[in-house]
Amino acid sequence: MEQLLRAQLHTTTLRAFGSSGGGCISEGYAYYTDSGPVFVKVNRRTQARQMFEGEMASLEALRNTGLVRVPKPMKVIDLPGGGAVFVMEHLKMKSLSSQASKLGEQMADLHLYNQKLREKSKTRQNTVGCGAEDAEPQGVTKFGFHTVTCCGFIPQVNEWQDDWPTFFTRHRLQAQLDLIEKDYADRETQELWSGLQVKIPDLFVGIEIVPALLHGDLWSGNVAEDDQGPVIYDPASFYGHSEFELAIASMFGGFPRSFFTAYHRKIPKAPGFDKRLLLYQLFNYLNHWNHFGREYRSPSLGVMRKLLM
């Protein structure tokens, strides 16, 4: 692999440093190169290129807002024996602590970014003398993303939809439940789902949802800080409901209360927030069931029962 990296990165220097690491999905390595330190993720699955290309597109979208700090993505490279590697900027990070409040503010600003673009665009359209030469980003009007992204190793369909409940039900919940049906044929899950899916639209009555650019997998293992401030990484981005982002952040610990306080100072909780948060947590429990097995069956079914109450 090192010979491949030298050739693809056009570097003479390629010296490993630190200890190899990574998460549940990919291995991670750090190297010094002629142009500075890089972090290399390695995955030998057949769909590794698709997974890494989705992550690269996500990092680029987040980085282009100028509102949150992410590692600069560099290159996806195919491995000769199968799989791929993803090369990005190496950042010297530590666990999120003193920067939690700042990250809460930044995530709220990120979630408001598309709405503000749309408002600016509308203002320009109503201003005499603004023509095509004044064109700026218009803002996104639908829910989805321009490419497939993976939450873990599971590919997510991001086909654009006008309606958020339809997008979320079809491309997030139903997609996860289809995998569970295929692997487990769990009758109780299907019975609960048949009752729940007809109730989902009721959870969104009376609220306006503007598509927000999301990190998409904002658990504590994908956030950090360094000397310059907060950092987020390993995204699975798409344009969705901002509340979706907070579900996994509130599930497994690691986010101080100051993060949520700072976030909600800018984006207050809308009516029905707590029940919708349960709905979004259901997606994450189902996703964990599909990744890690039946230990996540009980919490998945527990959430479904609460939503049916």
Q: Which of the residues are catalytic?
A: 217
Per DSSP, the residues of 31-100 read EEETTEEEEEEEE-STTHHHHHHHHHHHHHHHHHHTSS--PPEEEEEE-TTS-EEEEEE----B-SSTTH
Q: What's the token pair of residue 298?
A: 């009980």
Bridge partners, residue 15, by sequence: 32
Rounded to 5°, angle at Cα 46 from 45 and 51:
75
Instruction: Classify each residue of 26-36 as buried b or exposed e, where b means 16 or more C-beta atoms within 10 Å of its C-beta.
Output: bebbbbebeee
Q: What's the token pair of residue 105?
A: 């503010």
Helices (H), the chain: 2-9, 48-65, 100-125, 164-168, 175-184, 187-196, 242-249, 257-266, 273-292, 297-308
* Residue in 56, 61, 122, 57 with CA at minimum distance from that of residue 89: 56
* Whether the Cβ atoms of residue 83 and residue 48 lie closer than 8 Å to each other: yes
Alpha carbon distance 175, 26 (integer Å): 23
Q: Tell me if residue 1 falls in helix, strand or coil.
A: coil
